[in-house]
Amino acid sequence: MSETTTRADAPPPGAALLTHRQILTILSGLLLGLFLAALDQMIVATAMKTIADELHGQTLQAWATTAYLITATVSTPLYGKLSDIYGRKPMYLTAITLFLAGSLLSGIANSMYELAAFRAVQGLGAGGLMSLAMAILADITSPRERSRYTGYFMAVFGISSVAGPVVGGLFAGMESFLGTAGWRWVFLINVPIALIALVVVAKVLNIPHQRVNHRIDFVGAGLLTTGLVPLLIVAEQGRGWGWASGTSIAMYVIGVLGLVGFVITERRMGDEALLPLRLFKRQTFALGNVINFLLGVGMFGGMVSLPLYLQIVKGYSATESGLMMLPLTLGIMAAAGTSGNITAKTGRYKVFPIIGFGLITAALFVFSTVGTDTSIYQALALMFFLGAGLGLCMQTLLVAIQNDAEPRDMGVATSSATFFRQIGGTVGTAVFLSILFSTVGDKIADGLRAAAATPDFQAALARPENREFAAGLQGGGPAFDLDNTEFLTRLDPVLARPFLDGFSSSIDLVFLVGGLVTAIGFAVIWFLREVPLSTRSGLERVQDAAGEKPAPIAAH
C-alpha cells in the first residue's frame, strides 16, 4: 500500500547557507513568538472553567475558543501569501502585535461574548505565530536536518505546558492581583512577553527575502470566512436552536454557498489564490492536509475534554489539573525528539505518523471507558500515550508537506498544514463541546431520577444544609445551573454523584467520537507516499532555481 517516490536534489555546492550558530540565533526570535502562543493556549485551557464561571457562561465557553480558532485559521494562509510578498520578518512582527492587542482587550472583557470578540483579535495574531515560525525554519534548514531543530520547538511547548497550568491556575485562583481580578492576568501576562518578543525578533530575525509578487486573495478569504463561520456557529448553537430549525438551515445554506464560492474563486485566481488548487494535484499535499484535518479534530477532542474531566468529574483545581496534563506533554516531547533524530539519520518518516495515529486512536477509545471512579493513574498513563501519538504525527506531517513543495510555494504549503489542522481543531472544538453540553443535561436528569429512589439520596436531601437544593428539585425549579459548576464543590457528595456521572458519561461520548475520527485518519495515513527528504534548505533551493550565489547572513 506504501509507495516511495524518488527524488534527486543537487548536492550542496559548498558550505551550508547558514551555520548552526546563525540558525540558533534566528530561532531565538522564533521561539519567543512561539512561546507566546503556546503559553497562552495552556494558561487559557487550564483557567477556562474559572473564567467561564466568573463571566457566567460555562455553556458558552465554546464561543471564546472557536472565535480564536476561526480567526487564527482564516488568517493563517493570508500570512503565507503576505510573507512571500513583504518578507517573513514584518509579518511575524505584525502577528505578535495583533496578539498583544488581543491579549490586552481580553483582559478587560466583561462578558463571554466580549471575551469571544477579543479572543478573535488574538487569533488574528496567533494565525501567523505558528505558521510563519515553521515557514522561516523551512527557509533556513533542509527537510533532512529540520528534524534536529524541531526539538527546540517541542522544548518550548514543554516549558509552556509546565509553566502555563501553574500560572493559569495561580491567577485563576486569585481574587485579585495588582488591583485587577486574578483571572484577567491569564491574558494580561501576555503583554510583557509580547513586548520582549517584538524587541528580540526585530533584532535577530534577519534573513534574505526574495519578493514574490502576489495579488492578495481577499475575496477568497472573505468567502472562506463566510463558509466556515455559519457552520461553526450552528455546531455551537444547534442544540438550542434545533438542528432542523429555520435558523440552523439558514446557517447550513450560507456556509455551503460560502465554501462553493470559495472554491470557484480559488479556481479563478489560479496561482494567486489563497490556497492554489494546483497544489492539491500533489498527492502528498492533498492527502497530507486531509490527515492534518483529521488530526486536528481528534487532537482537540482530547484537549478540550481532559481538563473538564479532571476539574469537574475528579474535582481537581485548575492548577492541579494543568500539572496533571504534564504526561501528555512528556509524551509529545519524547516521541517528537526520538522520531526527529531517527528521521535526520535515515531520511525516512512515514512509519511515525502510522504509529502515532494508532496510539491516538487507542488512547481515545480507552479514554471513552473512564468513569467517575476510574483511577487517576490510568488517566495519566493514557495521557502519555496520547501525547506520544501526537508527537509522532504533528511535525512529521508538516515536514512531509514542506519537503514535497516547490520553493515558491513554501509559505503557502507551510501555512496550509497549520490551516487544515486548525480547521480540524475548530470543527472539533465546536462539535465536541456541542456534544458534551447537549447530552449532559439529559444524562444528569436521568441520574437524578435513578438516584432519587435510593435511601442515601433521600437522607442527603433531608439534611438542613441541602434544603435549598431539595426545594429546587421537588418544586421543579432550577436546582442547578450548568453555566457555573462551582456549586458541585459545595454540594453533598451523595447529591453531587449524578452530576459527576452525567459529565463523565458525556465526556466519554466525546472521546468515543474523537477516536472514531482518528481511526479514519489511521486508515488514510497508509496511502501517503513517502518522498525522500531533501538536503537543501528553502533559501538554497530558491537561489539554486534563480542561479544566484548565496547571500551572506550577518551573525549576531
Which pLDDT value is given to residue 213?
64
Cα–Cα dist 57/236, whole Å: 13
Please name the helix (run of DSSP H) or strand (run of DSSP E) that holds residue 276, with its range, or none.
none
Which pLDDT band holds residue 18 (cuts at 50, 70, 90)? low
Selection from 188, 152, 202, 148 nearest residue 35 by Cα: 152
Give the three-state DSSP class for 181: strand
| pLDDT tens-digit readout, 331-352 | 888 888 888 788 878 878 889 9
- Which pLDDT does position 526 carry in this prediction? 92
Q: What is the pLDDT of residue 14?
A: 35
Residue 401: per-residue pLDDT: 84
Lowest-confidence region among 29-38, 42-51, 124-133, 533-542: 533-542
Q: What's this model's pTM, rounded to 2 decimal places?
A: 0.75
Identify the pLDDT of residue 181.
Answer: 74
pLDDT score of 101: 93
Predicted confidence at residue 95, as pLDDT, reads: 93
Q: Are 36 and 93 in contact (CB under 8 A)?
A: no
pLDDT tens, 464-515? 777 777 776 665 544 566 666 667 777 778 887 888 888 888 888 999 999 9
Residues 6+ apart with CB under 8 A from 176: 182
At residue 212 the predicted structure's pLDDT band, cuts being 50, 70 and 90, is low
How buried is residue 245: exposed, middle or buried, by Cβ count under 10 Å (0-12/13-18/19+)?
A: middle
Per-residue pLDDT band for 218 (boundaries 50, 70, 90) equals confident
Interval 271-287: pLDDT, tens = 777 778 888 888 888 88
Question: What pLDDT was estimated at residue 100?
Answer: 92
pLDDT for the residue 4 = 40
pLDDT for 202: 84
Distance CA 174, CA 183 (A): 7
Could you give the 3-state DSSP secondary structure of residue 177? strand
Summarize the confidence of residues 416-422 as an average pLDDT.
80
pLDDT band at 217 (very low <50, low <70, confident <90, very high): confident
The pLDDT score that the predictor gives to residue 151 is 67
Q: What is the pLDDT of residues 148-203, one digit of tens each?
A: 677 677 777 767 766 776 777 777 767 777 777 777 888 888 888 888 888 888 88
Nine cell digits for residue 400:
512531509
Residue 7 predicted with pLDDT over 50: no
pLDDT at site 73: 76
Contact 554, 18 (CB under 8 A): no
Q: How far is CA 294 from CA 209, 282, 290, 390, in A?
A: 34, 19, 6, 12
Share of the chain above pLDDT 70, in %: 81
